[in-house]
Amino acid sequence: MSAATPVPDLRATLPLVPWPSAVEALDAPVAGLAVVRLDAPDDELRELAAELLVAAGAQVDPAATVSVALSLDADAGPAGSASPERYTLRVTSDGVVATAPERVGLLHAVRTLRQLLGGTGGPDAVPAVVVRDAPRYRWRGLSLDVVRHFFGPADLRAVVDLVAAFKLRVLHLHLTDDQGWRIELPSRPELTEKASQTQVGGGPGGYLTGAEFRDLQRYAAARFVTVVPEIDLPGHVNAATHTYGDLNPDGRPTDVYEGIEVGFSRLWLDLPATEPFLRDVLGDLARLTDGPYVHVGGDEVHTMDADEYARFVERAGSIVRDAGKTPVMWQEAARGTLAPGTLAPGTLLQYWDPKADREPFVDAARAGARFIMSAADHAYLDMKYTPEHPLGLDWAGCVELRDAYEWEPEEVIPGLPADSVEGVSAAVWTETLTTRDELFSMLLPRLPAVAEVAWTAPASKDWAAFRARVAGQAPAWRDAGWEFHPTPQVDWP
Ligand code: TNX
């Protein structure tokens, strides 16, 4: 562009979410990408890329003259970036070239291209640009409760598609709680037999079979999404204490629970049945899990003394480690140590409750724990958008789109060393969410806001530009059948 040409603010005109590390507009004609040839290093990647480009209105034809070429190249990405996810995308009227050191970066590049195709010119007139991009954090995720209301394989695949569309890499599934046990385990089939058939407010409930869970992981892995399963311990366990009376001091099964109170149920570490139960369920879950992480909960145990809680967390963590996985725990487990600061190094803690005392987090970080930021006042997408919103809870206040966008993960815990932040996860709890449409209307448009917090450098974030870019996603959401909440904070097309 010559110096005299006013430079439009690319951040507001290109419909890219999350905003990339560097975008350079070329002083060159737009690219016609309505019919393209697709070259990729392997068939799996070619098929995924083709699906995305076709969804954006392009046609893929091996005889086309314009090509979209994906190729592995260690030199791709922003200067100086060592992220394995980095990529470069060059769009000109001669065609598209995407390069990345790893396949994941090539798929990121295609997702960026897919968003460019959805811009105002459509696939016939895609602006000539070079994008060089890499994420801020490795852990970029969504935590989803499938207990309070059950969501089955088809809904979960749609959630994987949504998560992946915004370049998130983790789907954390909250699989057990007071209201149900949603994962079939070979050594403990009674759990799903006895404790999966209800949900909040009654209703049918449900569970994932081992085969369904494996299939879901495969579907997610093809899209570079890791599934992190959670068995919540030692609280949120009424489904287990309902199934096995011997997990209770009086030996009697507890009643089915269909309400939404939290904090009343618990295990007892010193009962003879407890340790075998922990070994069986965590061992089975680790064997079913392809990814490196197993989440063992640890939140809201309101009826256990600190010493037993600490012993419990250490037990659960070491069983998971012995099974070859890295444990993830809710923030409360920062206190899950007999002496301050002795939590096993490498443990991942998921921060959620802004009302909690921060000191144990700083101690845990000093001992080598790493943090996933799910600050409820920004990243809990089950909070209502506004007080009048018909769905959701409001214990952490309302979370409008701008609240989900404007926060800094390295500042939510004062005093925490910035380099102990592993990443960011949005979370959605389903006490009030009963259908896929309701779930998606809470995720969209707020999940893209959290995705940008996790991906984009703070200096490149801009609310006014984000509002404009997120509006540009709506046509794609409508095409995909993804329900969204048309918040008045955005001028929707
Ligand atoms: C707190 S977040 C909980 C969940 C609820 C959620 C509702 C966390 C670790 N525990 O049990 O579903 O609030 O927002």
Instruction: Kindly report, residue by residue over 79-127, the tens digit of the pLDDT.
Output: 999 999 999 999 999 999 999 999 999 999 999 999 999 988 899 999 9
> Does residue 403 line the site of ligand 1, with CB under 6 A?
no
Instruction: Kindly report, residue by residue over 18-59, the tens digit of the pLDDT.
Output: 999 999 999 999 999 999 999 999 999 999 999 999 999 999
Burial of 8 by CB count in 10 Å (0-12 exposed, 13-18 middle, 19+ buried)? exposed
Residue with the smallest CA separation from ligand 1 atom 13 is: 429
The answer to whether the bond into 387 is cis (omega within 30° of 0) is no
Average pLDDT of every residue of the chain: 95
b/e map 309-347, b = 16+ CB within 10 Å = bbbbbbbbbebbbebebbbbbbbbbbbbbeeeeebbeeb
Percent of the chain with pLDDT over 70: 97
Phi-psi region of 372 (alpha: psi -120 to 50; beta: other; left: phi over 0): beta
| Best mutation site among 146, 237, 262 for ligand 1 pocket (most ligand atoms within 8 Å of CB) | 262
Asked whether the beta carbons of 256 and 198 are under 8 A apart, the reply is yes
- Atom nearest to 297 CA in ligand 1: 9
| pLDDT of 179 above 60 | yes
How far is it, in rounded angstroms, from Cα 62 to Cα 122?
Answer: 21
Confidence of residue 337 (pLDDT cuts 50, 70, 90): low
In the sheet with 35-39, reading across from the earlier edge strand, the strands are 22-25, 129-133, 87-92, 95-100, 67-72, 35-39, 59-60
| pLDDT of 1 above 60 | no
At a CB cut-off of 8 Å and minimum separation 6, what does 355 contact?
none
Check residue 2 and give its pLDDT: 43
Domain 7-133: CATH class, spelled out:
alpha beta
b/e map 213-251, b = 16+ CB within 10 Å = beebbebbeebbbbbbbbbbbbbbbbbbbbbbeebbeee
Asked whether the beta carbons of 297 and 350 are under 8 A apart, the reply is no
- Atom nearest to 148 CA in ligand 1: 12
Distance 395 CA to ligand 1 centre (A): 10
**Region 153-170: what's the mean pLDDT?**
98
| pLDDT of 348 above 90 | yes
Check residue 343 and give its pLDDT: 73
Asked whether the beta carbons of 362 and 416 are under 8 A apart, the reply is yes
Confidence of residue 342 (pLDDT cuts 50, 70, 90): low
> Does residue 300 line the site of ligand 1, with CB under 6 A?
yes
**Region 161-181: what's the mean pLDDT?**
98
Distance 429 CA to ligand 1 centre (A): 7
Instruction: Kindly report, residue by residue over 199-242, the tens digit of the pLDDT.
Output: 999 989 999 999 999 999 999 999 999 999 999 999 999 999 99
Confidence of residue 367 (pLDDT cuts 50, 70, 90): confident
Instruction: Kindly report, residue by residue over 240-287, the tens digit of the pLDDT.
Output: 999 999 999 999 999 999 999 998 999 999 999 999 999 999 999 999
- Atom nearest to 396 CA in ligand 1: 14
Architecture of the 139-480 domain: Alpha-Beta Barrel (3.20)
Check residue 340 and give its pLDDT: 59
| pLDDT of 3 above 50 | no
How far is it, in rounded angstroms, from Cα 182 to Cα 191?
Answer: 9
Distance 360 CA to ligand 1 centre (A): 20
| Best mutation site among 299, 431, 433 for ligand 1 pocket (most ligand atoms within 8 Å of CB) | 299
pTM of model > 0.75: yes
Distance 197 CA to ligand 1 centre (A): 21
> Would you name the residues annotated as active-site residues?
300
Distance 384 CA to ligand 1 centre (A): 14
Question: What's the token pair of residue 92?
Answer: 């000109």
Residue with the smallest CA separation from ligand 1 atom 14 is: 429
Ranges in the chain annotated CATH 3.30.379.10: 7-133
Least confident span in 37-46, 51-60, 169-178, 357-366: 357-366
